[in-house]
Amino acid sequence: MSPHATLATAATRVAAAGPADGDPTLKDFGNDPWWLVGGKVLVIFVFLVVTVLMSMWMERRVIGRMQLRVGPNRAGPFGLLQGLADGVKLALKEDIVPRQVDKLVFVLAPIISAVPAFISFAIIPFGPTVSVFGHETALQGTDLPVAVLLVLAMSSMGVYGIVLAGWSSMSPYSLLGGLRSSAQVISYEIAMGLSFVAVFLFAGTMSTTGIVNAQADKWFVLLLFPSFLVYVITMMGESNRIPFDLPEGEGELVGGFHTEYSSLKFAMFFLAEYINLATLSALCTTLFLGGWRAPAPISTVWAGANQGWWPVLWFVIKLVLFIFFFVWLRGTLPRVRYDQLMKLGWKVLMPFSLGWILLVATIRAFKNEGYDMGRISIYSAIALGVIIIVTLIWETARGDGDKEKQIVPDPAGGAAAGGPAAPADVAAAGGFPVPPMDAPHYHGKTTTSRKEVTSGLH
| Predicted confidence (pLDDT) at residue 2 exceeds the cutoff of 60 | no
Query: Residue type for 445, please?
Result: K
pLDDT on residue 282: 92
DSSP state of 131: E
**CA 139 – CA 293 distance, rounded (Å):** 13
| Predicted confidence (pLDDT) at residue 454 exceeds the cutoff of 90 | no
Query: Residue type for 92, please?
Result: L
pLDDT on residue 299: 81
Residue 82: CB partners within 8 Å, gap ≥ 6?
Answer: 56, 57, 60, 72, 74, 75, 76
pLDDT on residue 382: 82
Q: Give the residue, 41 or 96, on which the prediction is more confident.
A: 41
| Predicted confidence (pLDDT) at residue 56 exceeds the cutoff of 80 | yes
Please provide the DSSP assignment of 35-77 as one string. HHHHHHHHHHHHHHHHHHHHHHHHHHHHHHHHTT-----SSSG
DSSP state of 139: S
Q: pLDDT band at residue 330, thresholds of 50, 70 and 90?
A: confident
- The pTM for the full model equals 0.79
For the stretch 119-134, pLDDT in tens is 889 999 988 888 888 8
For the stretch 351-379, pLDDT in tens is 888 888 888 888 888 877 877 767 777 77
Q: Can the peptide bond before residue 247 be classed as cis, meaning omega within 30 degrees of 0?
A: no
Q: Give the residue, 253 or 280, on which the prediction is more confident.
A: 280
pLDDT on residue 458: 46
Q: Give the residue, 97 or 432, on which the prediction is more confident.
A: 97
Q: pLDDT band at residue 252, thresholds of 50, 70 and 90?
A: low
DSSP state of 403: T
**CA 59 – CA 278 distance, rounded (Å):** 13
Of 291, 265, 281, 250, the C-alpha closest to 58 is 281
Residue 416: exposure state from Cβ atoms within 10 A (0-12, 13-18, ≥19): exposed
Per-residue burial over 101-115, b if 16 or more Cβ lie within 10 Å, else e, is beeeebebbbebbbe
Q: Is 136 helix (H, G, I), strand (E, B) or coil?
A: strand
Give percent of the chain with pLDDT exceeding 90. Answer: 13
pLDDT on residue 44: 93
Q: Looking at the DSSP assignment, which residues form a beta bridge with residue 138?
A: 129
- Using CA atoms, how far residue 405 sits from 400, 401, 430, in Å, is 9, 7, 17
CB 152 within 8 A of CB 170: no
| Highest mean pLDDT (candidates 19-23, 287-291, 433-437) | 287-291
Q: pLDDT band at residue 285, thresholds of 50, 70 and 90?
A: very high
For the stretch 402-451, pLDDT in tens is 554 555 555 555 544 555 555 555 444 444 455 555 555 545 555 555 55
CB 213 within 8 A of CB 293: no
Q: pLDDT band at residue 69, thresholds of 50, 70 and 90?
A: confident
- Would you tell me how many other CB atoms lie within 10 Å of the CB of residue 370? 7
